[in-house]
Amino acid sequence: MALPNTEEILEDIDFFDDWEERYKYIIDLGKELETMDEALYTQERLVKGCQSNVWLDVRSEGDLLHFVVDSDAIIVKGILALVMAAYDNKTPAQITAFDVDGYFQQLDLERHLSPTRGNGLRAIVAKIQAVAQAAQHA
């Protein structure tokens, strides 16, 4: 099953009455992430600033950037799925133009994350946006 897009995620999240149900949904999304090849679990791919271990790999496929991500924490994998819905298989211009803050506000996510998880989320987004910006200027 492919990950839903950001609009579908926002609709789905809105359907749930409480955050316990939303967390379950987010964790289930994380289970749908593409499996990362063992060889990609390297120090260079670790995202700095995350409480949990988060690995990020990117490759260009034509004009699109394709990301493969993983974490050793199940809730973080779910959060990564939310981020991938926004950024995976998009052009660098689409990635840099996407209103990620507005998306996170609509999800009401950061209010429900610990400060360290929130910092990790921002570190992941910053890393992806930096990759997209570099690809735009390459």
For the entire predicted model, the pTM comes to: 0.94
- b/e map 25-39, b = 16+ CB within 10 Å: bbbebbeebeebeee
- Each of the 138 residues of the chain gets a pLDDT tens digit; together they read 578 999 999 999 999 989 999 999 999 999 999 999 999 999 999 999 888 999 999 999 999 999 999 999 999 999 999 999 999 999 999 999 999 999 999 999 888 888 888 899 999 999 999 999 999 887
Task: From the candidates 50, 65, 79, 100, give the one annotated as an active-site residue.
Answer: 50
Q: Which two tokens stand for residue 59?
A: 């490759």
Spatial separation of the C-alpha atoms in residues 6 and 12, rounded to whole Å: 10
Can you give the pLDDT at residue 111? 85
Domain boundaries, the chain: 6-136
User: CA torsion sign, 119 to 6 to 60 to 138?
Assistant: negative
Assign domain 6-136 to its CATH architecture. Alpha-Beta Complex (3.90)
Spatial separation of the C-alpha atoms in residues 56 and 99, rounded to whole Å: 21
Is residue 134 annotated as a catalytic residue, yes or no? no
Can you give the pLDDT at residue 1? 57
